Each structure stands twice: as structure tokens, then as C-alpha cells.
Amino acid sequence: MRQIIALLLVVILVANSKLKTHIPNRVILSEPTPVEQFMDKIAEIETPGGGYQTVNKYGMMGRYQFSPSTVRVLGYKITKSEFLRNPEIQDSVMVAYIRENEKLLQHLIRRYNGKVVKGVKITRASILAGAHFAGANGVTQFLVNESHTGTVDAFGTSIKKYMSYFSNFHLPPLNS
């Protein structure tokens, strides 16, 4: 009888070991969300080869090149050093900035989405990217003022070029 019980236990253990879930020896990351992809694309433009501790010669700082005043206006009371040391804060500031611009520019997103303005196909992403580049007022002027050719930064990048990078990018609404 003991031999039968022992044999049954062996059979159960062998069967169980074959049913165990395989755990890979590496971490499998999920695909980035559209918001994360949008943020990554902004960062590629703002800090090519750079990172969270980048500061340009005009004082724009971090992965997304924010001015210290923009960080303060968004409600973050931190030093430049704290900002540069903390990727999570920089990402939080970026999400807050996108959300704020989306609220401010929602009427333009509804009005212009899918249209072509000054040779640029307009999407939610292109408007929000333009707002990151030139502010809500800059992107508004580009869209509504026919004679406004658009903002050009100190490095020679134009809002038109910046927005065109995002013409075919799908970004769902952040503010529901």
C-alpha cells in the first residue's frame, strides 16, 4: 500500500512539475502607451542624445527642456537641482503640461483636427507638440492668423517643422 501511495505521489509531482508556469529569465516590458511615445518623441527632438540632466545655453532644462518658470506655473515648487535629479518629476511636469495645453486648446483641436494648415496636417498630437514648442499662444497664432508664419527658436527650428513631426501621430485625449 505504501508503494502505491508513494507511486501516486511521484506521478502527481511529475505531472505538477510539467504544469508549472515558465518564468523567463528576463523582464518583458509592455509596449509604451501613446502618451509615453509622444513624450519620448518630444524628448528626442528636445534633447537628442541628452537626457534628464540636460540644460541648454538658454537655461531650458531636463529631458523636455522646460523653463524654470513653466515648472513653477504648473505648481512644482522645486529647485533646478531637484528637477534635474528626478526623472519622475520631469515626466509628471510633462504630463501636467500636456493636460493643461489640451484644456486650453481643446477648441482648436476640435476645429482643426484632420485639416491642413500652412502645409501641416493638424492632429491633437501636432497641436500639443506645437504648444510644447511655442506655448499655447504660439500654436494658436500659427493656426488662426493666416499671415503668421510661425515661431522659430534660437536653434532655427520652426513651429511648422515641429508640428509636422506629429502630423501622423495618434494621441488620445488626456483629459476625459
Instruction: Give the fold, CATH level 3, of 30-164.
Output: Lysozyme (1.10.530)
Residue 41 banded pLDDT, cuts 50, 70, 90: very high
Specify the pTM.
0.81
- Distances from the Cα of 53 to the Cαs of 44, 64, 80, in angstroms? 14, 10, 10
**130-175 pLDDT, tens digit each:** 999 999 999 999 999 988 888 888 888 899 999 999 999 999 998 7
Residue 155 C-alpha cell reads as 536653434
Question: Alpha-carbon distance 106 to 50, whole Å?
Answer: 31
Residue 137 C-alpha cell reads as 499662444
Q: What pLDDT score was predicted for residue 112?
A: 98
Burial of 33 (0-12, 13-18, 19+ CB in 10 A): exposed
**Residue 13 pLDDT > 50:** no
**110-125 pLDDT, tens digit each:** 999 999 999 999 999 9
